[in-house]
Amino acid sequence: MFAHVDINNCYVSCERLFNPALEGRVVVVLSNNDGCVIARSIEAKAIGIKMADAEFMVRQNLKENNAAIFSSNYALYADMSARLMNNLARYTYTLMVYSIDEAFMALGNISDLDLEKHTAAISENVMRHTGLPITVGVGPTMALAKLANKAAKKQKRNFLVLDTDEKVDATVRDFPIEDVWGVGHQYYHKLTEFGVKTAHDFRELKADFVRQHMTVQGWRLHQELWGKPCNIIKDVAERSKGIESSQSFNSYQTELEPLEEAVAMHAATVALKLRQQQSMALTLTIYLRTNKHNVKHDQHYPSITVKVPFAANTTYQLTRVAVQAIRAIYQPGYNYLKTGVRATGIIPAGEVQYHMFSVYEHSKEQKLSELMDGLNSRYGRGTVRLGADSFERKWIMKQEFLSHQYTTDWKDIIVTQ
What is the C-alpha separation between 63 and 117, in angstroms, rounded?
43
Domains of the chain (ranges; CATH) run 9-73 (3.40.1170.60), 76-226 (3.30.70), 243-379 (3.30.1490.100)
Q: Buried (b) or exposed (e) across 242-279, using 16+ Cβ within 10 A?
A: ebbbbbbbbeebeeeebbbbbbbbbbbbbbbbbbebeb
List strand residue ranges (DSSP E) for 148-278, in order: 159-161, 243-253
Helix (H) or strand (E) holding 118: helix 115-130
Asked if 309 and 352 touch (Cβ cutoff 8 Å), the reply is: no
Q: Look at residue 351 in the predicted model and tell me its pLDDT.
A: 67
Digitized pLDDT (tens) for each residue of the chain, 417 residues in all: 899 999 999 999 999 999 999 999 999 999 877 889 999 999 999 999 999 999 899 999 999 999 999 999 988 998 899 899 999 998 888 888 888 899 999 887 666 678 899 999 999 999 999 999 999 999 999 999 999 999 999 999 999 999 899 999 999 999 999 999 888 888 888 889 888 999 999 999 998 888 888 888 888 899 999 999 887 555 444 555 688 888 888 788 999 998 999 999 999 999 998 998 888 898 999 999 998 888 888 999 999 999 887 788 899 989 999 999 999 999 999 999 899 999 988 888 776 666 666 556 667 888 888 888 888 877 777 788 888 776 666 667 677 888 888 888 888 888 877
Per-residue pLDDT, 236: 42
pLDDT at residue 268, as a whole number: 92
Could you tell me the pTM of the whole model? 0.74
> Exposure string (b/e) for 369-397, b if CB count within 10 Å is 16 or more?
beebbeebeeeebeeebbebbbeeeebeb
CA atoms within 13 A on the CB side of 323: 19
What pLDDT, on a 0 to 100 scale, did the predictor assign at position 393?
Answer: 67
Rounded to whole angstroms, the Cα distance separating 137 from 151 reads 8
Q: Would strands 134-139 and 102-106 be described as parallel, antiparallel, or unpaired?
A: unpaired
- How many helices (H) and strands (E) would you count in the chain? 13, 12
Burial of 201 (C-beta count, 10 Å sphere; 0-12/13-18/19+): middle
Backbone angles phi, psi at 71, to 5 degrees: -75, 160
- Angle, helix 74-88 to helix 10-17, in steps of 10 degrees: 100
Contact present, 171 and 143 (Cβ < 8 Å)? no
pLDDT for 110 equals 62
In sequence order, the 6+-apart residues with CB closer than 8 A to the CB of 69 are 27, 28, 30, 55, 62, 401
Residue burial 93-123, b: 16+ Cβ < 10 Å; e: rest: eebbbbebbbbbbbbeeeeeeebeebbeebb
Provide the 8-state DSSP code for 33: G
* pLDDT value for 187: 84
Give the list of residues 6+ apart from residue 136 with CB closer than 8 angstroms, or none.
3, 4, 5, 119, 122, 123, 149, 152, 158, 159, 160
pLDDT at 358: 59
Residue 163 has φ and ψ, to the nearest 5°, of -110, 5
Task: Please tell me what DSSP assigns to residue 89.
Answer: G
Identify the pLDDT of residue 237.
Answer: 46
User: Pick from 158, 171, 168: which is nearest to 121 by CA?
Assistant: 158
Under DSSP, the state recorded for 109 is S
